[in-house]
């Protein structure tokens, strides 16, 4: 029998993505062993994030300043918008340092199974930004799965009347890897999107 | 490809012994219930991670045990690999390894192709449309590595689109929400439909040629791919078909065109083969179909699949069976079971290994 406060913590932890009962229990027991100060630091960091972080009014990125540091960076090109599903996709693209445009976070992808329709993701905000003018290109960087593809198709349909250049991220081989380890779908996608050298 | 060695643990009543197979012909004899079919089933399981007798994996595990695995050595183009397929209660999926390294299902299935004939399984002709779709899918997947992935994508898109049709009917979504999903659905559906149509055409031609070659009296048999909801052709034609059925789809809350409704018609001069043919004729036709699959695999990959033939006594025309077995694609490794001691003289005159099964183990292995 697990003591009720401990059971309560384990139950809360299992609500986190990727954590099952066993992992949650391991984390809970680990927290118990840590010094009180460490646990307080973790608890206050969690509370802090909830009270100080909000969505950027322009791009929906998670931020503590309005607008976010990317939208307010004058060295960036505001005429190129990269569209991602979630705010946590931004750091992945940012670490490349190759993209110097701005972002638009959809806050999800179309998924009727989860009850997510066009009204539940922020395509309207993207359309407004394009309508406001001066956008040269929209790069759709949704996930390469069924939901991400349908979302990309929906975005393309919504942007068509606005006549803005709309592109989809390319599919290709992982760089630095060996050809022999590429799975067949990636390989055929890479063949499909081959280019002249 | 040649299965050189096989061993198993907790696979039905098979004893955890090691079997070393002949590269050409392996005959498994014994009374009923002594493990003949179980040995062939283990071979089939190693290749497909499934059984040709049951859909319930649990029934493969020896009574009172919780896990099973089968492993074997496959020689292919000069390279030998060790495959292992297992069921473990702690794992939601099969535990699949190649040379002791975990691999995903799609890659695992590429390592060994086994085509099985079992006289008790005539679903291809007698069963429902889902059995025939499975027949097409397994055949295509064995020669086209990316097919399973495409099939998964299609099934996911179909689920999403059906969920949306439900939501629209319940007024939780707008009909215009379908536009994006229609497009995603047909992008996912067309490659599956095209692959099935092509495969059915190829198998039908090979089946016809096989019937002619053996001068079998049942001629004029065709296998025709019937695209679900009559959707075929280019994306434009699919789009139009989707538009035509849209109102009906909104009423029935499900997608009415596409591979989920595909069927295959086995017909004899326009009539369903299942109604016209006798039991023995059906079995022979199914045997021819397997032969067509073997040839198709050979044509596509340049290699010979392993052929598993369960219970050769049952109502099969022995003369035809002999002729078929002597004409298998070159280098085809064969596994056959029989309750009789001597059935196929044509095989017994050539080099082969014979396994006499009793109580789940080979009590006698002899080389001929």
- A44 in B contact zone (CB under 8 Å): no
Quote the pLDDT of residue A21.
86
Question: In sequence order, what are the beta bridge partners of B84?
Answer: B71, B97
> Which domains, from first to last, does chain B contain?
1-113+305-368 (3.40.50.300), 128-297 (1.20.1050.90)
| pTM given for the model | 0.84
Question: Which candidate from B106, B167, B179 shows the least CB-CB separation from A112?
Answer: B167
Provide the token pair at B12: 């039905």
Q: Where in chain A is the domain with CATH 3.40.1360.10?
A: 55-196
pLDDT in tens, B277-305: 888 888 888 889 999 999 999 999 999 99
Quote the pLDDT of residue B222.
87
Beta strand spans in chain B (E): 2-9, 18-20, 25-29, 68-76, 79-87, 95-98, 101-102, 114-118, 221-226, 263-268, 271-272, 306-310, 334-338, 353-358, 361-367
Three-state DSSP class for residue A181 = helix
Statement: residue A118 has pLDDT above 80: yes
pLDDT in tens, A130-179: 999 889 999 999 998 999 999 999 999 999 999 999 999 887 777 776 77
- When pLDDT is averaged across residues B11-35 and rounded to a whole number, the result is 88
- Taking an 8 Å cut-off on Cβ atoms, the answer to whether A184 and B183 are in contact is no
Q: What is A4-52's CATH superfamily?
A: RecR Domain 1 (1.10.8.420)
Q: In this predicted complex, what is the ipTM?
A: 0.77
Residue corresponding to tokens 């053996």: B214
| Residue B258 to residue A128: CA distance in whole angstroms | 36
User: Residue A149: its chain B contacts at CB < 8 A?
Assistant: 184, 187
pLDDT in tens, B234-253: 889 999 999 999 999 999 99
- A14 in B contact zone (CB under 8 Å): no
| Residue A138 to residue A82: CA distance in whole angstroms | 6
Quote the pLDDT of residue B159.
96
Residue corresponding to tokens 């397994």: B138
CB neighbours (10 Å) of residue A192?
10
- Taking an 8 Å cut-off on Cβ atoms, the answer to whether A113 and B188 are in contact is no
Question: In sequence order, what are the beta bridge partners of B266?
Answer: B223
CATH class of A55-196: alpha beta
- Taking an 8 Å cut-off on Cβ atoms, the answer to whether B107 and A185 are in contact is no
| Residue B195 to residue B42: CA distance in whole angstroms | 29
Among A33-47, A91-105, A139-153, B226-240, the minimum mean pLDDT is found in: B226-240
Taking the CA of residue A130 and the nearest CA in chain B, the distance in Å comes to: 20
Provide the token pair at B269: 């001069």
- When pLDDT is averaged across residues A65-79 and rounded to a whole number, the result is 94
Quote the crossing angle between the two packed helices A146-159 and B178-213, to the nearest 10°.
Answer: 130
Q: Where in chain A is the domain with CATH 1.10.8.420?
A: 4-52
| B347: phi then psi, degrees, rounded to nearest 5 | -80, -35
| Residue B206 to residue B115: CA distance in whole angstroms | 16
Quote the pLDDT of residue B318.
78
User: Residue A153: its chain B contacts at CB < 8 A?
Assistant: 180, 183-184
Size of interface A-B (CB pairs under 8 A): 62
User: Residue A150: its chain B contacts at CB < 8 A?
Assistant: 157, 160, 180-181, 183-184
Q: Kindly indicate the confidence band of residue B346, based on its pLDDT and cuts at 50, 70 and 90.
A: low
Cα distances from B161 to residues A116, A142, B282, B353, in angstroms, run 12, 19, 38, 53
| A100: phi then psi, degrees, rounded to nearest 5 | -115, 15
- When pLDDT is averaged across residues B138-145 and rounded to a whole number, the result is 88
| Residue B286 to residue B361: CA distance in whole angstroms | 30
Statement: residue B21 has pLDDT above 80: yes
Statement: residue B314 has pLDDT above 70: no
Cβ atoms of residues B29 and B36 within 8 Å: yes
- When pLDDT is averaged across residues A118-123 and rounded to a whole number, the result is 94
Statement: residue B96 has pLDDT above 90: yes
User: Residue B164: its chain A contacts at CB < 8 A?
Assistant: 112, 117
Cβ atoms of residues A49 and A71 within 8 Å: no
Q: What residue in B sits closest to A155 (Cα-Cα)?
A: B180
Q: What is the mean pLDDT of chain B?
A: 89
């Amino acid at each position: 029998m697990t003591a009720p406060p401990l059971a309560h913590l384990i139950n809360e932890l299992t609500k986190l993505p990727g954590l099952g009962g066993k992992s949650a229990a391991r984390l809970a027991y680990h927290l118990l062993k840590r010094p009180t100060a460490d646990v307080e630091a973790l608890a206050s960091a969690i509370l802090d994030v909830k009270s100080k972080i909000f969505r950027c009014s322009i791009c929906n990125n998670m931020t503590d300043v309005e607008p976010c540091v990317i939208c307010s960076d004058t060295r960036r090109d505001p005429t190129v918008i990269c569209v991602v599903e979630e705010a946590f996709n931004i750091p992945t693209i940012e670490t490349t340092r190759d993209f110097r445009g701005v972002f638009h976070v959809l806050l999800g992808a179309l998924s009727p199974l989860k009850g997510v329709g066009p009204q539940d993701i922020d395509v309207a905000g993207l359309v407004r930004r394009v309508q406001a003018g001066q956008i040269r290109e929209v790069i759709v960087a949704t996930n390469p799965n069924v939901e991400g593809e349908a979302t990309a198709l929906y975005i393309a349909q919504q942007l068509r009347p606005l006549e803005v250049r709309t592109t989809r991220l390319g599919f290709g081989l992982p760089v630095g890897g060996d050809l022999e380890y590429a799975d067949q779908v990636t390989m055929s996608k890479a063949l499909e999107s081959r280019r002249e050298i | 490809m040649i299965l050189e060695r096989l061993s198993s643990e907790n696979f039905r009543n098979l004893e955890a012994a090691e079997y070393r197979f002949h590269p050409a012909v392996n005959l498994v004899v014994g009374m009923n219930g002594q493990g003949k079919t179980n040995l062939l089933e283990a071979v089939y399981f190693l290749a497909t991670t499934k059984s040709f007798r049951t859909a319930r994996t649990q029934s493969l595990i020896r009574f009172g045990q919780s896990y099973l695995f089968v492993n074997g050595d496959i020689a292919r183009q000069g390279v030998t690999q060790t495959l292992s397929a297992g069921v473990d209660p702690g794992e939601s999926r099969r535990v699949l390894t190649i040379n002791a390294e975990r691999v995903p299902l799609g890659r695992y299935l590429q390592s060994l192709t086994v085509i099985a004939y079992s006289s008790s399984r005539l679903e291809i002709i007698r069963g429902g449309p889902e059995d025939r779709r499975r027949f097409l899918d397994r055949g295509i997947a064995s020669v086209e590595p990316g097919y399973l992935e495409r099939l998964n994508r299609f099934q996911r898109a179909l689920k999403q689109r059906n969920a949306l049709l439900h939501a629209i009917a319940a007024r939780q979504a707008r009909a215009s929400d379908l536009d994006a999903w229609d497009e995603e659905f047909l992008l996912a559906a067309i490659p599956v439909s095209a692959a099935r149509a092509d495969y059915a055409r190829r198998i039908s031609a090979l089946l016809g040629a096989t019937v002619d070659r053996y001068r079998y009296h049942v001629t004029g048999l065709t296998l025709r791919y019937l695209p679900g909801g009559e959707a075929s052709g280019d994306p434009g034609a699919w789009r139009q078909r989707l538009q035509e059925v849209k109102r009906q789809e909104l009423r029935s809350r499900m997608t009415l065109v596409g591979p989920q409704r595909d069927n295959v018609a086995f017909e004899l001069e326009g009539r369903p083969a299942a109604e016209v043919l006798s039991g023995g004729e059906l079995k022979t036709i199914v045997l021819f179909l397997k032969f067509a699959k073997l040839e198709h695999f050979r044509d596509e990959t340049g290699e010979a699949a392993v052929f598993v033939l369960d219970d050769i006594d049952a109502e099969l025309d022995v003369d035809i069976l002999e002729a078929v077995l002597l004409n298998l694609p070159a280098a085809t490794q064969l596994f056959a079971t029989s309750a009789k001691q001597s059935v196929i003289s044509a095989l017994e005159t050539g080099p082969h290994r014979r396994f006499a099964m009793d109580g789940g183990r080979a009590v006698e292995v002899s080389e001929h």
